[in-house]
Every structure is written in C-alpha cells, then in structure tokens.
Structure 1
Amino acid sequence: MPGKFQLKKTANGQFHFNLLASNGQVILTSEQYKAHASAVNGIDSVRKNATREGAFEIKESSSGKHYFVLKATNGQIIGQSQMYASLSSAEHGCESVRNHAPDAALQDESAAPVA
C-alpha cells in the first residue's frame, strides 16, 4: 500500500494535511492553511521538495528528542515530523518521506463534517 496525503478541515475552519506512510503512520504534518487551495499547493510542494537535496533539516528539541522539518527552496517550512527518540530514527523518518511523498495519493476529507 503506497503512502497518502490526508487533507482535513480543522474545527476552526482551516485546512491541514498529514503524510501517512504505507503502514498508516503519520510521517509529516503541515501547518494550518486558511484556504483549501493553499493546502493543496502545500501538498504539491511536499511532493516536489521531498527528493530535493538539502530540503530536510533535523533538529533537537529541548527535551533531547529529534525531529525534522521539510523546507521549500525559499526556506519556508512546509512540514514537520513527530518527535523521535534518536537521531537515527529521525533520519529514517526523512527517508520515509522521500520514499512516500512523490507518488502519494490525496485523500481529501476536508468536506467531511468536523466532529
């Protein structure tokens, strides 16, 4: 099963997406967007930048856990990972985004009622 982008509408009326790996785990989360079209553009940006050299930056939180951000060519962050216990786990997360994002299908759930 390939990865997929899940696009949702938040309770405050904004949009955000998650990139899910083939096992269903969230591997990248976007910021919130005011417009649906902007969120779709964000997904396209993830697809394009996921394989670009230097697009990922691994960081360490104040608690010592690692996470990564995916940046567009202009330096803007277009997605962030969860927290990982080790640097190597964060590196594997970057690789998972590289492998899943380019061909991931879009599952648009933004028209569904917000619970």
Structure 2
Amino acid sequence: MSGKFQLKKSSNGQFHFNLLAGNGQVILSSEQYKAHASALNGIDSVRKNAVREGAFEVKESSNGKYFFVLKATNGQVIGQSQMYASLHSAEQGCDSVLRHAPNAALQDESASAA
C-alpha cells in the first residue's frame, strides 16, 4: 500500500498536511499555512527534499524521545515527525518518508472543512 498526503483546513482557517504511510499512520506533519497554494507548495517540497541527501535531521527531545525534521535546501523545516521511543525507530521513520513521499497521492480534504 502506498502513502498519501492528507491536506486539511484547520478551524482557524489555515491549512496543514500529514504524510501517511500505507497503513494510515502519520509519519510527517507540516506547519500551518495561511494559503491553500502554500500548503500545496509544501507538499511538493516534501516530495523533492525527501530524496535529498542530508535533508533529514534526527533530534532528541528533552524527555529522551526522538523525532526528526525534514529540511529544505535553505534549511527551513518543512515537516516534523511524531515522537519515537528510540533513535532506531526515528531513523526508520525517515526511511518511511523517503519511500512514501515522492509518489504519495494527494487527498485534499480542505474544501470539506468549515
């Protein structure tokens, strides 16, 4: 099963997306975007940067859990993972984004939101 980008509109009128693995689990979440077009550009940026060497940075949080960020070539964070219990799990999350993002379908649910 392939991954998909799920684009939604928040109650505050801003847009955000998640990259879901084939099993439906969220593997990457975006920041909030003011415009729909900006969120679509963010999705394109994830697709392009997920395959770029050095785009992922795994970090340890203050509570000892791990997460990763995906950065654009300019260093800006374009997506962040959930928390993982181990460094190895976070690295597997990076691999999952690498596998799913380039060809993930877009499920745009933003028009159906209030």
Deviation at 1:103, TM superposition (A): 0.1
Q: Deviations over 1:31-63 (max 9, x none)?
A: 000000000000000000001000000000000
CA–CA distance in structure 1, aligned partners of residues 84 and 51 of structure 2: 21
Amino acid at match of 1:66: Y
**Gaps spanning 5+ residues in structure 2: where?**
none
Other-structure match for 1:43: 43
1:29-68 correspondence to structure 2 within 5 Å: 29-68=29-68
Deviation at 1:74, TM superposition (A): 0.3
Q: Deviations over 1:43-96 (max 9, x none)?
A: 000000001000000000000000000000000000000000000000000000
Amino acid at match of 1:42: G
SS of residue matched to 1:88: helix
Amino acid at match of 1:88: H
Q: Which one has a larger percent helix, Structure 1 or Structure 2?
A: 2
CA–CA distance in structure 2, aligned partners of residues 105 and 64 of structure 1: 34
SS of residue matched to 1:101: helix
CA–CA distance in structure 1, aligned partners of residues 96 and 113 of structure 2: 30
4+ aligned runs moved over 3 Å, structure 1: none
CA RMSD across the alignment: 0.5
The answer to whether residue 75 in structure 2 is matched with residue 105 in structure 1 is no
Amino acid at match of 1:100: H
1:18-33 correspondence to structure 2 within 5 Å: 18-33=18-33
CA–CA distance in structure 2, aligned partners of residues 113 and 68 of structure 1: 29
* TM-score normalised by L of structure 1: 0.98
Deviation at 1:113, TM superposition (A): 2.7
Other-structure match for 2:93: 93
Amino acid at match of 2:66: H
Amino acid at match of 2:2: P
